[in-house]
Amino acid sequence: MLWLCLYFSQRNAQALEQVAAWAGQFTARVSPAPPDAVLLEIGASLRYFGGLEPLRGRIEASLQRLGTRQAALGIAPTPTAAWLLARSGDNTPVTARNQLSQRLAPLPITAVTTDPTSLAAIEGLGCRTVGDIRALPLDGLTRRVGSTLVQTLQRAYGERPDPRANWQAPHQHHAQYELAQETIHTEQLKPALYHLIEGLCGHLRSLNAGVMRIHFQLLHRQQPHTELTLGMLTPGHHPARIQALLDHRLEQVCLPSYVIALNIAADHFHDMQPQGGDLLDQISDEPALDAWQGLVENLDHRLGKDRVRGLATAAEHRPERAWHYQRPGQPNQSASHQGTTPPRPFWLLPQPTPLSSPAGRPNYHGPLIFEAGPERIESGWWDGGDISRDYYRALSPQGEQLWVFRERRKPRGWYLHGFFA
């Protein structure tokens, strides 16, 4: 095993959990070590990420995007040794247990404990480094400084078991960012908002999950919070995609007063389904959006919620009621209830147009020739929209293909209802 410790000089339990959720994208074994560290078992991830240095580079780059540059890294075969190295600011990896004695010996005793009583007892023995402590007889050292410090060193050297509980990331995400300086300009909020998005996406990737809706709150001192909601057609966890949608949304925002803090919340995670592809396709951890999906998402956030709509068929025999608006990309819930019907025209008139019918034969720029029909539609008696019609597909003298019907009730008139392409 190989452990990586992220050590923070100032962290609280909630912040450590947020870092742990983000860190799950690099390994399945993450263990917070309150009050100041998060441990990652990275040995099983090295092959996937191409080795130790590429993995460490990705972690460090992601930490910078997360806005957590103050984290110190330590890498060692045991979790406690990685913690000691990180606390000492030694970021040179130790990859084998037989190197631990040489690498840990020069570390100052403050890497092991900061308790004033323990430090005074150790200094009273003339010890300044971990190597000095390890050179003392074990029984006498335990009597002078206690068993806790001795057991910590034994775990660091791999001489005592050092089990760590695996932390399970929750299937929801909440985080806050307090601004160092208040601002009323949305452009100045973007770095902090991107920081929150990076943390959310790391959390999602650790669970191979995505979100379709994200809620932001821009907090003011004396004004109600400014609420922002991002919606996506398909679940996603890629920061660039979410940031682009947020940029469009911010263009519509006029802040009532200065912003002092930001909140992000995503309460419903969706499992990401594996995507099929060719052997030589570019590898991606998120399915690529179709062009129309990206267009709809961008227009939706530029124009406002529910301004972009799609059309779908409805389970209804009356032509004028056999469609409805719905969110683009949503499955048509009524499609499975539709039986097989004859062809329908793409251009349906808002209202049927009466046709003249000398000698009982309908005319449209001349007498019509019937090509198909009749198709009888009788429906709507239950809602006041009762119809009883015989529909025909007809050809005009100009070659136009028409959809016409005759009322089956008096006065049994003829009507034009649509045009075929």
Q: What pLDDT is recorded for position 333? A: 62
Whether the bond between 411 and the residue before it is cis, its omega within 30 degrees of 0, is yes
Residues 137 and 207 in one domain: no
Collapsing DSSP states into helix, strand and coil, what is residue 1? coil
Residues 210 and 180 placed together within one structural domain of the fold:
yes
> For residue 206, what are its two tokens?
């650790």
Contact in structure between 106 and 134 (CB atoms under 8 Å):
no
Q: Are 3 and 75 in contact (CB under 8 A)?
A: yes
Q: Are residues 150 and 177 in the same domain?
A: no
- 189 and 107 within one domain: no
The verdict on 264 and 362 lying in the same domain is: no
146 shares a domain with 36: yes
Tell me the pairing of strands 72-76 and 323-326: unpaired
Q: Which residues pair with 326 in a beta bridge?
A: 310
Q: What is the CATH number of the domain that holds 7?
A: 3.30.70
| 14 and 125, same domain (yes or no) | yes
* Judgement on whether residues 73 and 186 belong to the same structural domain of the protein: no
Residue 294 in domain: no
**Which secondary structure element, helix H or strand E, spans residue 302, and what is its range?**
helix 291-303
10 and 139 in a single domain? The answer is yes
Contact 305, 227 (CB under 8 A): no
Helix, strand, coil shares of the chain, percent, nearest 5, are 35, 30, 40
Nearest residue to 326 (alpha-carbon basis) of 308, 304, 311: 311
Whether 168 is covered by a domain: the verdict is no
The predicted pLDDT at position 283 comes to 44
Examine residue 289 and state whether it is found in any structural domain, yes or no: no
166 inside domain: no
In the prediction, which pLDDT does 62 show? Answer: 85
Q: Are residues 182 and 223 in the same domain?
A: yes
Q: Which of residues 214, 244, 271 is at a domain's end?
A: 271
Contacts of the segment 95-101: beta carbons below 8 A, 24+ positions apart: 95/2, 95/52, 97/158, 100/76, 100/156, 100/157, 100/158, 101/134, 101/157
**Token pair of 315, please?**
């389970």
- For residue 408, give every residue at least 6 positions away whose Cβ sits within 8 Å of its Cβ, in sequence order, or none: 376, 378, 388, 389, 390
Q: Provide the pLDDT for residue 280.
A: 45
How many beta carbons lie within 10 A of that of residue 66, not counting itself? 21
77 and 220 inside one domain: no
Could you give the strand order of the β-sheet that contains 37-41, starting from the edge strand earlier in sequence?
Answer: 30-33, 37-41, 3-7, 72-76
Could you tell me if residue 264 is inside a domain? yes
pLDDT reported for residue 380: 83
Both 19 and 68 in one domain: the answer is yes
pLDDT (0 to 100) of residue 334: 59
Q: What is the pLDDT along the chain (421 residues), one digit of tens a residue?
A: 999 999 987 766 778 888 888 898 899 899 999 888 999 999 999 999 999 999 999 999 888 877 665 789 999 999 999 999 999 999 999 999 999 999 999 999 888 888 888 888 888 888 899 999 899 888 888 888 888 888 999 999 999 999 999 888 889 999 888 898 999 999 999 999 998 999 899 899 888 899 989 999 999 998 999 999 988 878 889 898 899 889 988 988 889 999 999 999 999 999 886 555 454 444 455 555 566 666 767 677 666 666 777 778 787 888 888 877 777 766 666 555 555 678 888 888 989 999 998 888 899 999 999 999 899 998 888 888 888 999 999 999 998 999 999 999 888 899 999 999 7
Element (H, E) at 22: helix 13-23
Q: Is the dihedral of CA 82, 84, 89, 90 positive or negative?
A: negative
- Is 296 among the domain residues? no
Domain boundary among 156, 187, 205: 156
- Structurally, how many domains does the chain consist of? 4
Asked whether the whole model's pTM tops 0.85, one would answer no
Would you state the pLDDT for residue 339? 57
Of 323, 341, 359, which marks where a domain is finished?
341
Domain-located, residue 65:
yes
What is the three-state SS of 249-282?
Answer: HHCCCCCCCCEEEEEEEECCCEECCCCCCCCCCC
Determine the pLDDT at residue 279: 45
Domain range spanning residue 76? Answer: 3-156
Residue 162 lies in a domain: no
